[in-house]
Structure 1
Amino acid sequence: MALQIIDRDLVRKLLPMETCIGLMETAMLQTAAGTTCQPPRWIIDLPAGEGKCFGLMPGAMAEPEIFGAKLTAVYPQNGAKGFQSHQGTIVLFEAEIGAPVAIVHGGEVTAIRTAAASGLATRVLSNPGAGDLAILGCGEQAREHLVSMSCVRTLQRVRVWGRNPARAQAFARENASSSPVPIEVCASVEETVRDADLICTVSAAAEPILESAHVADGAHLNVVGSSVAAAAEIGNELVRRARFFVDYRPSALLQAGEFLAAKRAGMVDDAHILAEVGEVLAGSNPGRQNGEEVTIYKSLGIPAEDLVCANYLLQTAQARNLGDRIAF
Structure 2
Amino acid sequence: MTPLVVGTSAIKRATTPELVFAVVRDALIAHAHDRTTVPPPLHLQFPDADGDCHVKAGWVTDTPGFAVKIATGFYRNPAAGLPTNHGLVCAVSARTGEINAILDDQGLLTAWRTAAAGALATHAMARPGAATLAVFGTGEQARLQVEWLARLRPIDTVLVHGRSKDKTRSLCEAFDALGHHARPALADEAAAADMIITTTPAPTPVLQARHVRAGAHVTGIGTDMPHKNELPPALFARAALIATDDHRQCLDHGDFGHAVRAGVTTDTSDTPVGLLLERPVERPDGAITVADLTGVGALDAALAAAVLRELAS
**TM-score (normalised: structure 2):** 0.92
Partners of 2:71 and 2:110 within 8 A in 1? no
Say whether 1:207 aligns with 2:204: yes
- The Cα offsets for residues 17-74 of structure 1, whole Å up to 9 and x where unpaired, read as 2321111111111111212110110112236353x22322122222433112002223
- Unaligned 5+ segments in structure 1 are 320-328
- Equivalent residue, structure 1, for 2:252: 254
Shift of 1:150: 0.2
Any unmatched runs of 5+ in structure 2?
none
Q: State the one-letter code of the partner of 2:244.
A: V
The question of whether the paired residues in 1 share the 8 Å contact of 2:233 and 2:264 is answered with yes
In 2, Cα distance between the equivalents of 1:153 and 1:30?
24
Match of 1:245 in 2: 243
**Cα 1:69/1:139, change in 2 over 3 Å:** same
Partner of 1:11: 11
Partner of 1:155: 155
1:280 and 2:279 matched:
no
1:276, CA displacement in angstroms?
A: 0.9
Deviation sequence 1:283-318 (CA, Å, 0-9, x none): 5xx844212111111111011111111111111112
User: Does the 8 Å contact 2:120/2:277 carry over to 1?
Assistant: no
Alignment of 1:217-228 (within 5 A): 217-228=214-225
CA 1:293 to 1:84, structure 2 compared with 1: closer, same or farther past 3 Å? farther
What whole-Å deviation, never above 9, does each CA across 1:123-150 have from its counterpart, x for those lacking one?
Answer: 3211112111111111000111011110
Show the counterpart of 1:55: 54
- Looking at structure 1, the residues matched to 54 and 311 of structure 2 have their Cα atoms a distance apart, in angstroms, of 27
Give, in angstroms, the shift of residue 184 of structure 1: 1.1
Q: Does 1:229 align with 2:226?
A: yes
Asked if the contact 1:132/1:198 (under 8 Å) is kept, the reply is: yes
For the 8 Å contact 1:79–1:139, the answer to whether it is kept is no
Which stretch of structure 1 is more off in the superposition, 295-304 or 90-99? 90-99
Describe the SS at the equivalent of 1:145. Answer: helix
State whether residues 67 and 300 of structure 2, in contact with CA within 8 Å, keep that contact through their aligned partners in structure 1: no
Identical positions, percent: 26
Q: Secondary structure at the match of 2:127?
A: coil
**TM-score, with normalisation over the residues of structure 1?**
0.88
Corresponding residue of 1:322 = none
Aligned-partner Cα distance in 2 for 1:80–1:88: 19
Matches within 5 A, 1:1-328: 1=1, 3-46=3-46, 48=48, 50=50, 52-104=51-103, 105=105, 107-177=107-177, 179-186=178-185, 188-194=186-192, 196-242=193-239, 243-256=241-254, 258-272=255-269, 274-282=270-278, 287-319=281-313
Closer/same/farther in 2, CA of residues 11 and 84 from structure 1, 3 Å limit: farther
Shift of the alpha carbon at 1:12?
3.1
Comparing 147-156 with 38-47, which one deviates more in the overlay?
A: 38-47
| Secondary structure at the counterpart of residue 146 of structure 1 | helix
Contact 1:86 1:110 survives alignment (8 Å): no
Distance 1:81 1:174, change over 3 A: farther
In 2, Cα distance between equivalents of 1:174 and 1:114: 20
Q: Deviations over 1:163-186 (max 9, x none)?
A: 000111111223433x33222122
Q: How far is the alpha carbon of 1:255 from its aligned partner? A: 1.2
SS in 1 for 2:89: strand
Q: Is 2:44–2:52's contact at 8 Å kept on the other side of the alignment?
A: yes
**More divergent stretch after superposition (76-85 vs 101-110):** 76-85
Work out whether residues 3 and 101 of structure 1, in 8 Å CA contact, stay in contact via their aligned partners in 2. yes
Aligned partners of 1:119 and 1:145 also within 8 Å: yes
The 1:10/1:34 distance shift into structure 2, 3 A limit, reads same
Deviation string 1:254-274 (CA, Å, 9 cap, x unpaired) is 111x223222322122022x2
Flag the 1:4–1:184 CA change in 2: closer, same or farther, 3 A: same
